[in-house]
Structure 1
Amino acid sequence: MLERFTKDARAVVQTAVGQAEATGAATVEAEHLLLALLDREASRGSFALASLGLTAERKESVRQSLAEARRRAGLSQAEADALAGLGIDVAEIVARVEEVHGVGAMSGDRKDKGWWSSGRRTFGRDAKDVLERSLRTAVARRDRHIGDEHILLALTTRPGVPGEVLADHGVTHEALTRVLYGEGGGEGETEAKAG
C-alpha cells in the first residue's frame, strides 16, 4: 500500500513512527499519525487544517488534548463521561495511580526508552485502520494516490480520541470535505459520488 502514498503521506507515516519513538510507545497509533499531520507544512492536509482555523496556537491545543487523553490511558472524553455516568471518576483514578506511580503512569509512555529491543515500531490496530480508511477514501474519490489529506479525512471518520479532538477543534469530516473538494457531504455522499 505504501507505494500508493504521496511524498507527503509517506512523511506523515515516517514522522508518526518518530512520534512513537519519542514517547517510548510500543506501537504507532492513530494519535501519532495526527501529531505527524500537525507537523506538516505546505501539503494538502496542512492547508486544509489552516483553512479550518487550526493555527499554530490551536495545534498546540490539539497536542494538549491528546496528551490529556493519553494521561487518561487513552480514553476519549466521551468514554470518560460515560464512565462518570456509571459513577466512575476517571480523573480520580488517574490521580490515585499517579500518586503511587508518578505523573503519566497510565499513558503507556515509557521513560526508559531503551526497553524496545527490535528498534522498529509496529503499527497498532487503530493506526492500521486509519491507513486502510485513507486508501478507501482515495479510491472512493478516484484519486490515484493516497495523500496526507486522505489520512486526515480517515482520522475524522473513526471513533476515538484523535477524531474527537479534531472535532472539538472544528475539524470534522464534513468541514474537511468542503475545504478539500468544495463539497458539503459526509462519508456516505462521498462514496455515492464515487460509485
Structure 2
Amino acid sequence: MANVLIIAGDFVEDYELMVPFQALQMVGHQVTVVCPDKMAGDTVKTAIHDFEGDQTYTEKPGHLFSLNGAFAEVSATDFDGLLIPGGRSPEYLRLNATVIELVQAFADSNKPIAAVCHGAQILTAANVVKGKRVSAYPACAPEVSQAGGEYCDIAVTEAITDGNLVTAPAWPAHPAWLAQFNALL
C-alpha cells in the first residue's frame, strides 16, 4: 500500500484531517501527519466548520490532533501521495516556503495530491493548478482562476480528478474525494 503525507496546521478543519487520516489507514495506507515547527507527539488544534444555512460556514472549536511525524524530517521522496486538508491553516501554511517546496516536489514527480476546501490555497500558492480543473470551497474560486486553474463549481458531495490532482469543495465530499485519491494511489 501507499505511504501518504498530510500537512496540517492549527485550526485545520477537524473532519478534513481526522476522516482522511483514519480512512486511508483503514484501507491499508501508512499515513503521516506533520505540521511546520512541530514534532511527532505535538498537537494541532482543529476547527469544526459546518453549513447551517448562513452565507458562509460556521466555526466551532474541534479536537486536539496528535501529530505522528516531524515536518523537518519529511521529504517528498519518502511518500507516494500528499493530502492537504482545509480549514483556516492553509491561509498561513501557504506562506511557508518549505511547505510550498514540498507541494511542488510532489507535483513535479506527478505524485497524487488531494486537496479539499481551503487546501486549494496551498495548491495555488505552489503554482501547481495551471491548466487543471480544480474544485475548492467557493470563496477560493478567484485564487484558482488567478493561478491559471479552471475552477469547477460542483456539488458539495462531489470531487474532481485532473491528472494527479484530486480536489473537492468541502468535507461532505469525503466519499467521492477519498475514493478518487485512493484510486490514484
* TM-score where L is the length of structure 2: 0.26
More helix by share: 1
CA radius of gyration, larger in: 1
Higher relative contact order (CA 8 A, sep 6+): 1
